[in-house]
Amino acid sequence: MKGYKCDSCGKVYTYKRKVCIKCGKTSFSEVDLGEEARLITYTVLYVVPAGIERSPLVLGIAEFKDGARLFGQVMTDKPQVGMKLKAQYGKLRTKDGKELNGYYFVPE
Amino acid sequence: MSRKVAIIGARMTKFGNLIDKTLMDLLVEPSEILLDEYKIERKKVTSVYVSNLLGEISSRQTAVATALADYLGITDVAAERIENGPASGASAIRYAYMDIASGNSDLVLVAGAEKMRTAPTEVVTDLVSMMSHPEVEYPSGATMPSLGALFARLYMQKYDVKPEHLAMVAVKNHSNAMKNPYAQLKKEITVEQLLGPGSESFNPYVAEPLRLYDMSPMTDGGAALILADLDTALSYTKNPVIIEGIGESTDALALQDREDPTELKAVRLSAEKAYRMAGIKPEDVNVAEIHDAFTVLEIAISEEIGFFKRGEGKLAVERGTTKIDGEKPINTSGGLKARGHPLGATGLAQATEIVWQLQGLAEQRQVRNANIGFTVNMGGFGSNAVSIVYRRY
Ligand SMILES: [Zn+2]
């Protein structure tokens, strides 16, 4: 998993940004976040948006090393705060006939 | 020097399932009542601001502010639609404030409305979800309830807030709404019903840990305010409400990017700006309407705006401090939870309740000796907030 570390304040993002929301600077370096993340919060959503087949849908925020966080679908029926997850890239939902891709999590 | 800005009056439609009313009905009705009641000549109005989010989808309509001016027989004015997510209403008041304070406009009509019950629920839910981060939240299926739930789990864990606390907020706000003829949900509930045996069917989970009765409903409704410089306001009423402070703030758009996702920084900073501008402290506020789109938010926001220390909002709910007859009444109208939450109208409905409280028109919900009022209207899921301080004239 690739991360983007702000050269000025050190905040690490899981996606590319032009400007750091924390310090306003614009220079980032790519860092390796490793494979493993920990679930810090989750919800089991029973009213699932159109274009997503899984229901109920587990959504959560996981934290990689250096505090980089990522929101996404969690492919488990038994979510637990603190559980170890791996990020994978693939289809997230269908929207207006098009596939939207991105990261989701699977239990390690 | 900027001029003092006052609210002449406020009105709203009944909130609820208003199938027979059009978006224009919901904007025109409270506006007309106000103009007639205060005997304001249409040609005196210099600006019309309308807060509305879903007009395109709900009613196949844009440029609704110009439409409202036309329907009311008002021409040659500034007429603009204001969109700031669910904080659109308070933002529209902010525009009116700036317009008047700067001397640019003397008499401003602000109206807000939403029809949320016409389009299918999935469509409305999807539209509301579009205010989430377009790259890192929306594609995964983020909805406002899901973001609210992620926040709720973190916040409840950190401050040992129990489902009972959330239920107590719902019970209080439903009880307040029973006394509000304009409220949507007219149903007394008990903590036992919400959490006791058999509650799984009465109060099912929507987005764990949040259940049905933790959520504000889908609402149709409209509200309107007329604002003016103080001198003009006094020519129409002896009982105006002064806007003493307005503050707006933003935070990272995505919940994951916030420094501490258990905080609502935009809410805190907007309140601090409004208090500073008004020259007051949180303890000076006598009555407040705050953005309880989810029950957990009433507790968290009550701390962010300085009413209670961090982690003690739940104690205030336990002790009844936030009830109508408590020391710090919150959401006397029933709040978003029970009055209803028609997105574009919500900020104006919050202001309406405070105006009525300060004008002594809140009937069964009247808070005694209400002198200073406060509202906070949140946009997105905590990414934007607008706070307003009001004072009885
Ligand atoms: Zn930075």
pLDDT tens per residue, range B71-82:
999 999 999 999
Answer whether B205 touches A (CB < 8 Å): yes
CB-CB: which of A13, A41, A48 is closest to B153? A41
Single-letter residue type at B213: Y
Chain B interface, best mutation among A59, A64, A98, A99, by max B CB count within 10 A? A59
CB-CB: which of B141, B145, B256 is closest to A61? B256
B370 neighbors B392 (Cβ within 8 angstroms):
yes
Average pLDDT, chain B: 97
Q: What count of other Cβ atoms lies within 10 Å of the Cβ of residue B39?
A: 7
**3-state class percentages of chain A: helix first, strand second, coil last, to nearest 5:** 5, 55, 45
Rounded to two decimals, the ipTM of the complex is: 0.97
Tell me the average pLDDT across B283-301. Answer: 98
- B261 alpha carbon to ligand 1 midpoint, in Å? 17
CB-CB: which of A59, A81, A92 is closest to B146? A59
**pLDDT exceeds cutoff 90 at B292:** yes
Q: Which residues of B355-375 are buried (b: 16+ CB within 10 A; e: fewer)?
A: bbbbbeebeebebeebebbbb
% of chain B at pLDDT higher than 70: 100
**pLDDT exceeds cutoff 70 at B104:** yes
Name the strand (E) or helix (H) holding B208. Answer: none
pLDDT of residue B121: 83
Chain B interface, best mutation among A16, A45, A83, A103, by max B CB count within 10 A? A45
The nearest CA of chain A is from the CA of B166 a distance in Å of 16
Task: Measure the CA–CA gap between A84 and B120, rounded to whole angstroms.
Answer: 38
CB contacts, 8 Å: B201 with chain A? none
> Angle at the Cα of A45 (from A14 to A53), degrees rounded to 5?
85
**Domain residue ranges in chain B:** 5-120+218-234
- B83 alpha carbon to ligand 1 midpoint, in Å? 29
For the stretch A59-104, pLDDT in tens is 999 999 889 999 999 999 999 999 999 999 999 999 889 999 999 9
- A6 alpha carbon to ligand 1 midpoint, in Å? 5
**pLDDT exceeds cutoff 90 at A50:** no
CB contacts, 8 Å: B149 with chain A? 43, 45
pLDDT of residue B1: 61
pLDDT of residue B125: 86
**pLDDT exceeds cutoff 80 at B99:** yes
CB-CB: which of A44, A49, A102 is closest to B208? A44
- A23 alpha carbon to ligand 1 midpoint, in Å? 4
CB contacts, 8 Å: A43 with chain B? 145-146, 149-150, 153, 207-210
Answer whether B206 touches A (CB < 8 Å): yes
- A12 alpha carbon to ligand 1 midpoint, in Å? 8
For the stretch B140-169, pLDDT in tens is 999 999 999 999 999 999 999 999 999 999
Quote the DSSP letter at residue B85: T
Inter-chain touch B157–A57, beta carbons under 8 Å: no
- A89 alpha carbon to ligand 1 midpoint, in Å? 26
Q: Both ends of chain B: CA-CA distance in Å?
A: 20
- A19 alpha carbon to ligand 1 midpoint, in Å? 8
Strand ranges, E, within B237-361: 241-250, 287-290
Name the nearest CA neighbour of B293 among B256, B343, B224.
B343
| Architecture of the domain defined by B5-120+218-234 | 3-Layer(aba) Sandwich (3.40)
Task: Measure the CA–CA gap between B23 and B54, rounded to whole angstroms.
Answer: 10
Answer whether B207 touches A (CB < 8 Å): yes
For the stretch B318-354, pLDDT in tens is 999 999 999 999 999 999 999 999 999 999 999 999 9
